[in-house]
Structure 1
Amino acid sequence: MWKRGMGMSVTDSAKSEAESAGVVWGKWHGLASPYPLLAHLLDTAAFAAGLWDTTFSRSMRLTCSLGFGPGESHGRAGFAFLAASHDCGKAEPWFQGQVTSRNPSEFADNSGLLAEAGLDAFPDAARLLQLMRNDGGNSIRRMLRHEAGSAAALERADAPAWAVAAVSGHHGRYMPDASPQHSRPVQAYRDWIRGSGWAQEQQRDLNLIASAVDWSGFAAEAHTESQLAGLIPLVTGAICLADWLASDEVFIRSAPLELLADDPREYFLSRATQAAELIPSTVGIPVRPRGSFGEVFPGFSADREVQRWAVDHGNHGPGLSVIAVPMGEGKTETALWMHSASDVDDGLIFALPTMATADAMFSRVQAFYSGTPALAALRHGMASLNAFYDPAGGSPTDICDDEGGLTGSEWLQGRHRSLTAPVTVSSCDQVLAAAVNHKFSPVRLSSLAGKHVVLDEVHTYDPYQDMLLTRLLGWLGRFSVRVTLLSATLPTRRVRDYARAYAQGAGCPVNGEILGLYPCVTTTSPDGTTTQFELAAHRSYSHGVHVSDMVVTGTTFDEFTDEYATATAAYVDALREQHPEACIGVIVNTVGRANAIAMRLTGERRPLVIHSRMTAQQRSERTSELLALTGPGATPGTLTFVATQIAESSLDIDVDILVTDLAPVASLLQRMGRQWRHSQFGGRGWSHSEGRHRPTNEPVAHVLVARDPSGVRHVHAAIPYSNAEVDKTLAHGLEHGARTVIVIPDDLQGLVDGCDVTLNDLTEVDTDRPELGHVLAHLGESAAQEGQARRVGTDHDDFAVDWELNPSWAANPTLDALTSGTLWDAEAITRLRDGDTLQLLVYDPTGATAYALGRTPDALVANMQSLAQSREALRCVVPVSGRVATRISRFSTAAAIPQEWSSQPTAILRDLRPVSVSELAALGLTLDPILGLTSE
C-alpha cells in the first residue's frame, strides 16, 4: 500500500495558500504568474495516463506492470503516479529560491512568503554554495537538483528502489557516483529537509497525486531487484516524454486552476481529457495499414519465398526475427508485412546504414502508410533537407493524402524526440546509439521499447556495430520488443550471438540449435525458443570473379593513392576499349581514390562521380542522374561511373561490368549485387530487359588487389576497413586470388562464416590506425577488445546484476555510467571507421562557385529564422573526416565565423563549420562541380 504521511490536508493547504501570496511553483518563466507545482505534477500524470492508453505497446505495459503490481489498470495508475512525482522535489528551498541561478533575487519575495507559511530557507545554503564553487561543483550541483529531491521524497515514502531511481534520472542523467567528501554536505541538506515543513509539503503532494490518479500503492510482488532493474531506464524515458508534453506553454495556459484546490481529482480528469486530445497530433499514436498482401502492396503478390513465409506464419508477435536472404528477394516488403499483419500494437522504426538509404526507404514507408493518419519522423544528420519537411508542401494537416500517409509534427522535431514518433525512418546510428552511454539514453531505450525495430542491411555492420547491436538486443529482449533484422548475408556466429542476447535479456536461455543455413529465417521468442526456416532463393546463378594484382611501390598514403589510381584507370580504360558500349561501374574504398581515378580516365566523356565528400545538392543530383541511367528499366549504353561505398547499398543500380577494390566480404558481395541486378537467370540462361545488351555471357566482378613489391597486400589497401576484415576476405573469400566463381546463393554462407571478424579479431596494426582513433578514445585503452568496448555502453545483464548488489539511486556507479558522457552527436560513435566528422558549410560571396552558398555567414545569421535560407544553406554542406578534416581543423581560421553563429536557434546550422572557397584554396582544397571537394 502507498505510505501516506502527515502532510497538511487539502483544506488546510488551500487555506494556507489563500492567506499568503506565496506559491510553491513548478513553472515560472514566460508566464503571467508562477504555475503551481501541483498543477504541473497532475498535468504530467494526465499525459502519462494518455501515453499508457495510446502509445505504449502491450509488451511495454506488461513490462511496466511488473514493477507496479498485477493488472494493466493498476499499472496505468502507478505510472501516472510515478510520472507525476517526478518534480515533487521542486518543493524544496534550493529550487524555490533558485539559489544557484544568475538572479536569485527574482524569487526572493516568493521565498519569503513561503517562509512565513512555515517553508523555511535552508540555513546553511551559503556553505553549500561555497563548496560548489571550491570543490566538486558539478557533483554537488547535480545532487542538489530537484530530481534528487523527488527521489529522496519517494524514498521517504517507501517507494521501491527501482521507482526512486527511475524518477532521479528524468533530466537526462542519473545521480553522480560522488565521493563521500561531496555527498556528505548534500546529505546534511537532505536530513534538514526530512525534519522541515518541506518534507510535509512533498508528502502532501504525493498523497494528492495518489488520490487523484486512484493509486493504492506498489503491490508486493515476488520479483528480485535484478528482474526489476530494466524498468529503470524504460520508465525514466517514458517519464521524460510525459514531462515534455505537460510542459508545453499552450497546455499550461489552458489549465483550469480553479479546480486545483477544490478538487485535484477533477482537475486531473479534466487535464487527462485534454491530454488525450493532444497526443495524436503531438507525439502521435501507432496505426498501420490492414488487408491482404496485395491490398497492402498494390500491384504486388507474395511471390518471393521469404514473403510467402511471412504470409503463412501469421501474427509475428514479440521476438527476434533474423531474415538472411539474397538481394532482390523482397526483404523490405516482408518486414513491412510482418508489421501490418501483427496484432501487436507497437510503432515502427526502420533503420538503415546510410542517410541515402534512409531517405529512399522513407519514400517506401510513406507509400506503405498511404491512407493512414500516421505521424512520422525522418532522423539523420541531413533529414531536414528531405521534401517531407518542406513547408512548400503545405502544413502537416494538409499533406495526408492517398499518395503518402505520413505526416509530420512540429513537436517531434524537438531534441531527443524523433524516435518517439509512431513511425520513424532513420540511420542505424540512431538505434545503435541506445547501446552507448550518453545523456538521455533512457529516452532512446524507452522509445525503442514501444516499437517494432527493423534494422536493414545488417551485413554492412562493422565489428564495433555488431557488438553494439548484440548489447542492444539484450535490452530489447528484456522489454519483449519485436525486432526484425534484414540482411543479404550474415555469419552464423552473429545469428547465434543475436539470438542469445535477446533471449538472455528476456531472462531465458536459447532453446534450439542454430545452424549455418542460407537463405534462412531464424526466429527467437521471448521464452528463448529458436526456430529456423530454410528457404529457396528466387535467383540462383554463378557470378564470375577475376582477381587482378597490382604492384604499388609507393610507401606513403599519397604515393599509394596516386600510383594505384593510375594503374586502376589504365585497367578501366582497357576494359572500355574491349567493350565500348558497356556500362562500367567502378566502386572503390576512399573518396580520394575515386577522384584520382576519375581524373585519370581517358575518353570523350568524363565519368560520373558520386561519393560522400560532395555538397548535399551535388550528391542529390548525381544520385538522380545515376539512377536515371542505370536504374530499373534503364538502358545506359556507354557509361563509366566511379563511386565509393555509397553505391554498394544505397542505390538500385545495374552495371554491365564491375570493377571493385578489395573490401570486406559483405561489402564485396553487395557490390557484386549491383552487377546484372535487373536480369534474370533461368533454365535457358540469362534474360535481360528490353534494350539491355550485356557485353559478356555472365557477370564477372573484377577485384583489384594492391600489393607491395614483395607480393604482400599493400599496407594502405585496407583503408578505411580493418586489416582483419580485408585479409580474411582475401585469404578465405578469394582464396588468395585463386577463386574464379561464386555460386549464389550456395557459396555465400560458407564465405561469410569464413570471413567473419569480431572486435577481438582486430590486430595490433588496426589499433594503431588513426581512422579507428575515435573508437579507441571511447574504449579508453590501446586495444579494441570487447571488455574495453563495454566501457562505452552498459549490457542489460551486467546492469541487472549490479543493481541487485546495490539497489540505490544515489552514488550508484552503474546508474551514473548509463547516462555518462556528452550528448550523442553527429552519428560518430557508432561506427568503427568513421572518425570525427566536420560538416562544412562552403560559401562564396561572389556567387562564382557552383554548389557553394552565395552569401556570407553574416548574411545567413541575419536571416537565421528563415527556414528557406536554412535549407538553402544545408544544400551547400560537405561532410569531411579523416585527414581532410584534420587539415581544416588545424590550419583554417575561425575569424570569418560570426560571433552569433554558435548561439543561433537552429541547432543543425549551429553545428556547421562555415568555410569560404578562398580559405579552402589556401589549404589546397577545391569544390569541383564534378568531383566534389578535391585535394591538390
Structure 2
Amino acid sequence: MAYWGKADDKYPGNPKWHPLPYHCLDVAAVAAIWMDKSPALQQNFSAAYGESWSQKLRAWILFFVALHDLGKADLRFQLKAIAVAVVAWRDIIKGVDHEISQQEISTFDHGHAGMAWAAREYKAWLATTDADHSVWSHWGSWLAAVTGHHGDFPKPYFEGLADIEADEALIDRDRIARHGLVTALEALFLQPVGLTLQDLPPVCSLPARALLAGFCASCDWLGSNIDEFDYRTPDVALEDYLRERLAQIESRRMLSRYGLLASVHDYAGLMALLANDEAPRGVQTQIDILPSVPGLTLIEAPTGSGKTEAALAYAWRLLAAGVADSIVFALPTQATANAMFDRVEAFAAKLYGQANVVLAHGKRDFNTGFQQLVERGQRRTRQGDIEASVQCAAWLASSRKRVFLGQVGVCTVDQVLLSVLPVRHKFVRGFGLNKSVLIVDEVHAYDAYMYGLLGEVLKNQQACGGSAVLLSATLTTLLRDKLLAAWSSHAVHEADTPYPALWHATGGATVPLTVAYEHRPPRREVDKECLRLAAAYPDEGLQARIVAAAKVGALVAVVVNLVDDAQRLARALRERVRECPEVEVDLFHARYRFTDRQDKEVAALTHYGRQASRTAGRILVATQVVEQSLDLDFDWLITQICPVDLLFQRLGRLHRHQREHRPPGFETPRCTVLTVERDDYGVFELIYGNARVLWRTDELLSGQGSLVFPEAYRDYLEQVYQHDDWPNEPERIACDFTKFSSEQLRREKDALQLTSMTVASFRDEDGRITSLTRDGEMSLAVLLLTADGCLVDGRRINAISEHELAEALNLDTVPAPASWTKLLHHCSMETEGPFAGVRQLVVSETAPGVWQTLDKRFAYSQDFGLEKIQAGKPPPE
C-alpha cells in the first residue's frame, strides 16, 4: 500500500497519489461490472477459453486483470515520482540508497517488467518447482495478455531486470510487495470461488490472449479516469475498497455513460426497418429463420435488393439475444462508409433509442462520454505518455479507431483488417470486433492479399464466439468456399443453389437457405452494347451522344478506371456543354481531401440519388467509387471494361428504382461497355491484375443478346471465374493467368506472414500502417500544406490541439497512387509522430479553391482533386 500506482502533481485534491493496489482494483472493478452486464462478453470469453461461463472463469479473468500493473512494484518505476515516493513511504536518496540513472528510470517499462518479474518469481508465489514448465505454460499467456496492456505481448525476460544498483533491502522490499499483491488478489478473487494459486488457470490460446489483452486495455483506460476513480489515502481495506468501487460504477452507470453498454430494444421484426409502403422481399424474408447463435452468415442477393436491411435486422436479433454487444459495419471505401452512416444511424435509434454511433472517416460529434475521456487524457501525470488515460485519449481522438468502442461503428474494411496486423493496440480493435456483429459489405471487392487478412479476422471472430455477416451481389463459388473455410465450414449442394441465397455457418457442413420462388427478384433485362475504342476512352462520337442524352433529360454516368481519365473526360465534356447551361457535368473519384470528398458524395446523392429532382439532364464522370453501396440511379450507364463482378455492381446503379417516367430513349435500361481494340488491356490489366477475367468478360459482353438478371449473376460469374481454360482462350491470356495465380498465392502468403509479426513493428498512429491493409492502387498519403505551415483550409498546423491533430490529418490527407512514389520523392516525410508516413506536398493558392506546387507539376482543386499537370500544358483553371 506504500507503492503508488498513479501520481499527478496537478491533481485537484489530496492526496496527489493513488496506491497501486487501489488502482489495480479500479481496473478489476470495471472488468467485473462490464462482464456481469454483458452476456455477449461472457460468451466471448467462454468460446475463447473453451469452457462454459462460470464464476471460476470470471475469477481468473479478474485476478489477472488486477495484476496488469504488477511491474509498478519496482524501485525504478517508483522513482519516476520521487516526491510521491517520499509521501507514500520515505525518501529514497540517490548515492545513499541507489545509483540508478535518470535515463534508466525514465525508460523503465513497467508492463514488460511485470511479465519478466512474474516469470522470475512465480515459483515462489505458487510454491512449485515447475520443473517441466507446465505451470508457466498456463500462467505465461495470461500474464502476457494483461502486462502488455500498452499494445504488445511482452517477453518473459527483461534485459537488466535484476541488475538494479540499489540496496538489497530495497530490492527485497519490491519482491515482497509483488508477492503480497499476488496473495492479496488471490484472497479477493480466487479463494471466494474455491480456487487457490496452486490451481492452474484455463489454457489461454492465442485468440483468448488477444481477447483478454484488448479487454484489459479497455478496462485500464476507464479505470485510470480520475473523474471516476479519485485518488485515495491508503486507509481502506482492499475488500472494502473493491466493494465500494463496484457499487460506484453501478450507481453512476459508468459504462453506459461512456457508450460501452446500452440496453437493446426487443427485436421488432424486419418491417421496422422498412418504409411504410414496403414489405420484406428476397433474402429479407428469410432473416427471421436464421438461428440466433454466433456464426458466419453470407448473404448473396442482387444490388438494391435490401441486403443491408437484412443484415441489420439479423444483427438486431443477435444483440437482442445477448449474442453480441455492438455492431461494426465495414465497407470497401470511405465514400461507401460515409453514405452508409445515415442509414445506420437511423437503425441505431430503433435498436437502442439513444446510441453511440461512430463514423470512422468523418468529423462527427463525440459521444459525450468519449469527449470527457479525451479531455481528461490531456492531463499529463507522472507516468507521461504511458499513462493509460493518455493512451485512451489518443485512441479516441482518432475516429478511425473509436468505432470499435461504440455501439455501432461504420468504417472501411481497412480498420477491421488492422486488428490482425502488427500495430499497437490491435488487441483493442480485436476485442471490439469479437464483441460485435461484424458486417462486411461488398465482400467481393478485395484482392487476394486482403482476403488473406480477412480470413484471419474471421478465424479470430469464430475462435472468440463472435459473429460475422458478409454481403455481396457477386460472390463466386471459389470465394464463397474460401470464406466458409475461414469459419471451419464448407458448402453442400452448391452446384444447384438458386440465386439469391443465404449461408449460415457454425462449423462443418453448411446448407444454403434459399428464397421462395414468389420472393425472388423480378426478371430484369439490360440492353448492352460493346464499343471497341482506343484505350477504351470515349471518342468524339460517344462524347456527343452523352451530351445529347443529357440534353433530353437523362442522368448519365460514365465510369472509368483511372482518375486521370476521369479528370480529362470531365474537362472535355464541360467544354462540349459550355453553350448548354442547363446541363451540368460532375466529377467524382477518390483523389480528394476527405472533407472535399464528403462534399462530392453529398452532391452525387443529391443529383443522382433516390430523391433527386430529375428535372434536367446531368452527367457524372466517376471512377470505381460509385460501384459500391451508393444509392444512385442513372438512366444510361457507360463503363470501361472491368471484371464481370464489378461490372454487375456498376449495373446496380442503372435504373436502380422503379420510376413511372424516364427520358425518351431511356425507358429501358441500357449499358454501354467500352473495351480495347485488341486483347491488350494495358493499364486496366495492371489495375485489376487478372487479364483472363477481363478477356472473358469482354468475350461474353461481345456476344449477342441482352443481360438477364438474376440469372446472369450465377451464369456469368461462374463462367468467367471457372478454373479450366476456355477452348478459344489466347495463349497469352492463359500464360498471364498462370503468373497471376502465382502472384495471388504470394500475396496471400505475404498477408499471413505479416499477421505473425510482432506488434512492436508499427505504432498504431503511424501513417505507414494504412498501406498494410491494401495491395492496391491508392496507397500513398499526401498532405497539402502551404509554405507557412497551414492546411489548405487556412488552419495553422501548430495551432491545432494535440487531441484534434489526428482528426485534422485524417480529413485533410489525399490518397495518391503508388505509381507516384518517384514523382513525390521530394516531399518531406517524417518517420515519427503523427505525420509519419505522410508525404507533405507544399502548395500555394493560385485562385479560390485551387492550389499548385511551386514547380507547377501538381495541382489541387476542390472540384478536380489532386492531379498531375501535363508537361507543356497550361495548369488547370
Q: Give the TM-score, by structure 2 length.
A: 0.79
Q: Does 1:459 align with 2:469?
A: no
Give the structure 1 partner of residue 707 of structure 2: 742
**Offset at residue 749 of structure 1 (A):** 2.0
Equivalent residue of 2:655, what SS?
coil
Q: Is the 8 A contact 1:449 1:476 kept in 2?
A: yes
Task: Give SS of 2:487's match.
Answer: helix
Q: Cα gap change, 1:766/1:854 in structure 2, threshold over 3 Å: closer, same or farther?
A: farther
C-alpha contact 1:491 1:752 (8 A) present in aligned 2: yes
Of 35, 38, 54, the residue aligned with 1:72 is 54
- Asked if 2 retains the 8 angstrom alpha-carbon contact of 1:55 and 1:286, the reply is no
Count of aligned residue pairs for this structure pair: 794
State the match for 1:322 in structure 2: 298
Pairing 1:609-628 to 2, within 5 Å after superposition: 609-628=587-606
2:798 corresponding residue in structure 1: 861
Partner Cα separation in structure 2 for residue 763 and residue 156 of structure 1: 66
**Which letter maps to 1:46?**
A
Amino acid at match of 1:245: L
Q: Would you say 1:530 and 2:510 are equivalent positions? A: yes
Q: Structure 1 residues 871-880 or 636-645, which shifts more?
A: 871-880
Question: The residue matched to 1:670 in structure 2 has which SS?
Answer: helix
* 1:675 positional shift: 1.1
Instruction: Give 1:547 deviation, angstroms.
Output: 2.2
Confirm whether residue 376 of structure 1 aligns to residue 356 of structure 2.
yes
Q: Judge conservation of contact 2:7–2:84 (CA < 8 Å) in 1.
A: no
Aligned to 1:370, what secondary structure does the other structure show? helix
Contact 2:75–2:171 (CA<8 Å) still a contact in 1?
no
2:560 matched to 1:588? yes
Match of 2:825 among 882, 887, 890: 890
In 2, are the aligned partners of 1:233 and 1:442 still within 8 Å (CA)?
Answer: yes
Name 2:314's counterpart in structure 1.
338
Partner of 1:836: 779
CA distance in 1, matches of 2:366, 2:147: 35
Is the 2:32–2:62 contact (alpha carbons within 8 Å) kept by the matching residues of 1?
Answer: yes
**CA shift at 1:473, angstroms?**
1.0
Question: 2:79 maps to which residue?
Answer: 97
Deviations 1:401-433 (A, max 9, x none): xxxxxxxx9998346543022221111111122
Kindly provide the amino acid, as one letter, of the partner of residue 844 in structure 2: S
How do residues 155-194 of structure 1 correspond to structure 2 at under 5 angstroms? 157-158=125-126, 160-175=139-154, 185-186=160-161
2:791 counterpart of 1:817 = no
Amino acid at match of 2:713: L
Is the 1:551–1:706 contact (alpha carbons within 8 Å) kept by the matching residues of 2? Answer: yes
The answer to whether structure 1 residue 715 and structure 2 residue 650 are counterparts is: no
SS in 2 for 1:339: helix
For residues 432 and 291 of structure 2, the distance between their equivalents in structure 1, rounded to whole angstroms, comes to 23
Query: Is 1:671 matched with 2:650?
Result: yes
Counterpart selection for 1:367 from 346, 349, 373: 346
Gaps of 5+ in 2: 127-137, 374-391, 724-731, 847-851, 870-877
The separation in 2 between residues aligned to 1:281 and 1:727, in whole angstroms, is: 54
Q: Which amino acid aligns with 1:610?
A: F
Equivalent residues in 2 for 1:639-658, closer than 5 Å? 639-658=618-637
Q: Is the 8 A contact 2:270 2:313 kept in 1?
A: yes
Report deviation, 1:693: 2.7
Matches within 5 A, 1:458-537: 458-503=443-488, 510=490, 512=492, 514-515=494-495, 517-535=497-515, 536=517, 537=520
Give the secondary structure class of the aligned counterpart of 2:746: coil
Report if the CA contact (8 A) 2:48-2:208 is conserved: no
Q: Deviations over 1:719-771 (max 9, x none)?
A: 4322x1x431322564384365332111212333344499xx999989999xx
Partner of 2:333: 354
1:9 aligned partner: none
Q: CA deviation at 1:77?
A: 2.5
Q: Does 1:751 align with 2:730?
A: no
The question of whether the paired residues in 2 share the 8 Å contact of 1:632 and 1:652 is answered with yes
Deviations 1:802-856 (A, max 9, x none): xxxxxxxxxxxxxx63564332646332122144322424569999xxxx8453x
CA contact (8 A) 2:72 2:110 kept: no
Question: Please, which moves more after superposition, 910-919 or 827-836?
Answer: 910-919
Task: Work out the CA distance in 1 between the residues paired with 2:5 and 2:550.
Answer: 78
CA distance in 2, matches of 1:570, 1:27: 75
Cα gap change, 1:469 to 1:734, in 2 (>3 Å):
farther
1:790 to 739, 752, 765: 752
How far, CA to CA, are the matches of 2:301 and 2:711 in structure 1?
Answer: 11
Change over 3 Å in CA distance of 1:411–1:745 after alignment to 2: same
* Pairwise CA distance, 1:274: 2.2
> How far apart are 1:268 and its partner, in Å?
0.5
Name the amino acid aligned to 1:881: P
2:249 is aligned with 1:275 = yes
One-letter amino acid of the structure 1 residue matched with residue 62 of structure 2: A
For residues 781 and 32 of structure 2, what CA distance do their matches in structure 1 show? 42
Output the amino acid matched with 1:695: G
Using the TM superposition, give the Cα deviation of residue 195 of structure 1 relative to its aligned residue in structure 2, in angstroms: 8.5
- Identity among equivalent pairs (%): 20
SS of residue matched to 2:229:
helix
1:188–1:766 Cα change, 3 Å = farther
Q: Distance in 2 between matches of 1:96 and 1:64?
A: 39
- 1:215, CA displacement in angstroms? 5.6
Given candidates 163, 172, 186, the residue that maps to 1:210 is: 186
Q: CA deviation at 1:661?
A: 1.3
Once the two structures are superposed, residues 443-463 of structure 1 have per-residue CA deviations (whole angstroms, 9 ceiling, x without a partner) of: 211111111111111121222
Q: Which residue of 2 aligns with 1:934?
A: 867
Cα separation, partners in 2 of 1:538 and 1:818, compared to 1, 3 Å: same
Give the superposition deviation at 1:337. 1.1
1:632 and 2:610 equivalent? yes
Aligned to 2:544: 573
CA distance in 2, matches of 1:540, 1:928: 43
Structure 1 contact 542–743 (Cα < 8 Å) conserved: yes
Q: Which residue number in structure 2 is paired with residue 293 of structure 1? A: 270
In 2, Cα distance between the equivalents of 1:487 and 1:646? 16
Separation (CA, whole Å) in 1 of partners of 2:271 and 2:478: 36
Q: Secondary structure at the match of 1:517?
A: coil
CA 1:632–1:767: 2 relative to 1, 3 Å: same
For the Cα contact (< 8 Å) 2:48–2:207, is it kept in 1? no
Which secondary structure state, in structure 2, belongs to the residue aligned with residue 250 of structure 1? coil
Are the structure 2 counterparts of residues 477 and 233 from structure 1 closer, same or farther at C-alpha, using a change threshold of 3 Å? same
Tell me which moved more, 360-369 or 823-832: 823-832
In 1, Cα distance between the equivalents of 2:344 and 2:507?
A: 31
CA contact (8 A) 2:639 2:674 kept: yes
1:243 aligns to what?
A: 220
For 1:522 and 1:246, locate their aligned partners in 2 and report how far apart those are by CA, in whole Å. Answer: 42
Contact 2:145 2:209 in 1 (8 A): yes
Matched, 1:827 2:794: no
Q: 2:137 matched to 1:196?
A: no
Q: 1:921 to 1:114 in 2, by over 3 A?
A: closer
AA at the equivalent of 1:693: P
What is the root-mean-square deviation in Å for CA atoms of aligned residues?
Answer: 4.5
| Larger deviation, residues 318-327 vs 286-295 | 286-295
Q: Give the Cα–Cα distance (whole angstroms) in 2 for the partners of residues 516 and 285 of structure 1.
A: 44
Equivalent pair of 1:523/1:530 in contact (CA under 8 Å): yes
Q: Secondary structure at the match of 1:336?
A: helix
Query: Match for residue 445 of structure 1?
Result: 430
1:916 aligns with 2:844: yes
3-state SS of the aligned residue for 1:160?
A: helix
Q: Deviation of residue 639 (structure 1)?
A: 2.0
| Structure 1: gaps of 5 or more residues | 1-12, 18-22, 99-103, 397-408, 504-508, 553-563, 680-688, 770-775, 795-815
CA distance in 1, matches of 2:177, 2:277: 63
Bigger drift between 510-519 and 655-664 goes to 510-519
1:234 lines up with 2:211 in the alignment: yes
> Is the contact between residue 65 and residue 216 of structure 2 (CA under 8 Å) also seen in structure 1?
yes
Counterpart mapping for 1:13-28 below 5 A: 17=2, 23-28=3-8
